[in-house]
Amino acid sequence: MSTYVFDFAEGNKDLKDLLGGKGANLAEMTNLGLPVPPGFTITTEACRHWLRHGEEPEGLAAEVEEHLRRLEEAMGKRLGEPGDPLLVSVRSGAKFSMPGMMDTVLNVGLSDACVGGLGEQAGDERFAWDSYRRLLQMFGATVLGIDAALFAERLEQVRDKRGVSADTDLDAADLRGLVEDFKAIVKEHSGRDFPQDPREQLDLAVRAVFMSWNTERARLYRRQERIPDDLGTAVNVVAMVFGNLGGDSGTGVAFTRDPATGTQGVYGDYLPNAQGEDVVAGIRNTLPVAELERLDKGSYDELLRIMAVLERHYADLCDIEFTIERGRLWMLQTRVGKRTAAAAFRIAAQLVDEGLIDMDEALRRVTGQQLAQLMFPQFDPAAPRELIACGMAASPGAAVGKAAFDSATAIEWAAAGEQVILVRRETNPDDLGGMVAARGVLTSRGGKTSHAAVVARGMGRTCVVGVDALRVDPRQGEFTTPDGARVREGDVISIDGGTGEVFRGPVDVVASAVVDALLGGEDQPDEHAARSDVDGKPAGDEQRDVVAAVQRLMAYADSRRRMAVRANADTGSDAMRARSFGAEGIGLCRTEHMFLGARRRIVEQVILARSDEQRDAALEQLVEPQRRDFQEILEAMDGLPVTIRLLDPPLHEFLPDLTALSVKVAVAEAQGKVNPADVELLAQVQRLDEQNPMLGMRGVRLALVVPGLVLLQVRAVAEAAAELKSLGRDPRPEIMVPLVAAVQEFEIVREQAKAVIDEVAAERGVELSFPIGTMIELPRAALTGHQIAEAAEFFSFGTNDLTQTAWGFSRDDVEAAFFPRYLDAGIFGVSPFESLDVEGVGRLVSIAAWEGKETRPDLKIGVCGEHGGDPHSIHFFESISLDYVSCSPFRVPVARLEAARAVLGEGNVGSA
């Protein structure tokens, strides 16, 4: 029989799969001898059983009873006994941190029978009634599903009646009355009395935590962070220690380094006379944790000692929750702290210099997603702006958008293509949808450890919190600035998550300093350059430190990765930018754009030509422009491979619109002004019209039916290469034939292309030899890769079209039509166009790659779809030993970093 419950002394930090992150770390701190209240953890296995079967596993109740008995013995108290009750907290704790997404209930065990005894033992009647009203409030909302706003509104009414602004200003009589009000709310809205049996409270709270795993906000967070849905949460039952016992008590959250910047020191928030949820909920503005030194120097010094122990033990930034009960410090949680992208790179470099980690581990500590965040634009320092308020810088970046005062509005506007800033007094877990949709988040309450700050940092959203000078009125849809001006819903504002500043109207943005540094390309420092200051002081300008850390880690990443990284680029300027970002060639040069504008009409003439003479005359007009295009790209990538995909789009993209042309002819006929040329053109267009153009006359099929159009491209490539060779350059073009399904198709086009290349070589008197390969973008091509490899010299997987054809999806139609439903239903956790479907499409890629190499060991294999820049997909491509990935120029640094991290085979792929 499985064991479902473990005392803290029985676990350790490596048991996160079983005990969840919170339980594993509570066990670790217990084993380190740190002051942790005693308690026990109900495992994730118990949660998974409950989620599958709708009931607790056999034996769980007995195990909980046994561990509760041990806890009572350790504390010398019994749960809910009248004289001196033991109270417990019931907290969630999944393997991966999900801040604020699941439920917690404090003060479980408190009842009418023992609230008086609690007050007598504490010598503080007010404290006892405050604890009871908190239990009713949390239990009602979390366990019984009552709207939390009902409790908050009643509390606000009581404060207003007393003429006070803070909960701490209410006396014991006020709180006793509030308890009765809350019990009435429970009765009215749940149909039952608040349970007075302490064990029933515990059992219901445990069940509520299990159920919170599948709340809408938790599922949305897991999708956003790519956390599997089947992990479940552990439940931690911990003896209560109280921070709401007066001025010598309090609660706080601290970080061993600044999670926003990476600066070394003590950072965090502290609230005197409060319980833990008050800090993260942001309902009262907090004090900096450094203020604790003045309030309680003994506890402050002990906190610093423990923080140092934990950071050395975990070799990382630690996020710590603590409570002080009448001068005694207790540790309630620690975890490796979430951090901004800038802090992640800076801290990784610092820890290397401090000798706590090596460079391989430093790479594991940063992600491609974080690097992408650092490449976001910032506000232009020279741009005019109107400062209206300033708060705490919680998550960096520059965000401009319309002010939306609730999540539903933010989601609606973002879906319509608007840029949005979500403005709230404080966020709560139900605001997650709006936070995901918004470009930035602004709150008037809370600190750097509030819900808004923690979640925004994890998602990479710009965030400013604690702007207490703003009076936010969500019901009226407006906020008031210190000078009395109003900003209403829909007005544009700008927020700077690096400084905490809030501006009226839009502010111009500029590229980040990290982008400027990355565009240095090959001139990056080696891994020992740009060392950070490790004496606890900022090493000069924070931005300079971040840039130096990025350059240092990128240089090391290039030394560790196996796969090459190329870029998708169609012009010489794109190619030059990609090369500056560190691209080692072009993996996909699309030629479609070369036939747009004035050239589109010429292509139309080629397609509609009624004789070889007409077709040849039209083709002749295209040769020289094409040669210039290819020469520009090959010159920009001199000495590096350039994979040029022959013309791929369907014929209809080069022809007049059938509907418009039909209307034109019909109107002309009705008016008796028929143009014979239009009638003939309409007949031609109707003849070539296709019901499903994307699976019709395109790619290799076009090359076989209208060979001159494709062969002119081959000639243009060959002539461009010959010209550059005559100038002493080193052009390395590769010809890629698209949409091949059968080796016979490819063989015909390959022979035609080789003949053209040989002809140009003879004409120019130079040696020309280009690899000729194919794009694998159809399931049949993937499944017959062993045959195609007999003729093709390289494979490049077009994973966008391969995903469409494998799933039977039309991307342009399905993403808006039903993907949201598929995501909600868990059919897939993320769009297969965003991250490769490893089980389906990935299997096709694996089969083709493996069998292709079996046939031709020197076969070069890469990826040129959008998945080439996706971190999760890159790790899969490394696992099947592809030779390179190719992505947009801006994603090249991300791919370089993730290709190195994939070699290491560990670490977080998503956001930190």
Query: What Å distances lie between residue 244 and 121, 179, 272, 288, 574, CA to CA?
Result: 14, 16, 7, 18, 60
* CB burial of residue 609 (10 Å; 0-12, 13-18, 19+): middle
What's the DSSP call for residue 394? E
- Alpha-carbon gap, residue 310 to 317, rounded angstroms: 9
Q: DSSP readout, 739-797? A: S--SHHHHHHHHHHHHHHHHHHHHHHTS-----EEEEE-SHHHHHTHHHHTTT-SEEEE
Pairing of strands 420-424, 440-443: parallel
Going by C-beta distance under 8 Å and a sequence separation of 6 or more, which residues neighbour residue 422? 404, 407, 410, 431, 434, 435, 437, 438, 440, 441, 442
How many Cα atoms sit within 13 Å of 580 on the Cβ side? Answer: 14
Q: Tell me whether residue 864 is one of the annotated catalytic residues.
A: yes
What six digits make up the tokens of 68? Answer: 């509760």
Cβ pair 776, 795 in contact under 8 A: yes
- Alpha-carbon gap, residue 758 to 735, rounded angstroms: 14
Q: Tell me which residue of 620, 621, 571, 627 sits closest to 598, measured CA to CA.
A: 621
Going by C-beta distance under 8 Å and a sequence separation of 6 or more, which residues neighbour residue 518? 375, 550, 551, 554, 580, 581, 582, 893
Cβ pair 21, 332 in contact under 8 A: no
- Alpha-carbon gap, residue 443 to 469, rounded angstroms: 11
Q: Tell me which residue of 11, 106, 97, 15 sits closest to 334, measured CA to CA.
A: 97
Q: Tell me which residue of 28, 449, 455 sits closest to 253, measured CA to CA.
A: 449
Q: Which of 864, 867, 875, 887 is catalytic?
A: 864
User: Alpha helices, DSSP H only, in 416-500?
Assistant: 432-437, 451-459
Cβ pair 885, 797 in contact under 8 A: no
Q: Tell me whether residue 313 is one of the annotated catalytic residues.
A: no
What phi and psi, each to the nearest 5 degrees, are found at residue 431? -85, 5
Q: Which of 49, 451, 867, 872 is catalytic?
A: 451
The strands making up 104-108's β-sheet, listed across from edge to edge, are 5-7, 39-42, 233-239, 88-94, 104-108
Cβ pair 524, 545 in contact under 8 A: no
How many Cα atoms sit within 13 Å of 207 on the Cβ side? Answer: 15
Catalytic positions: 451, 864
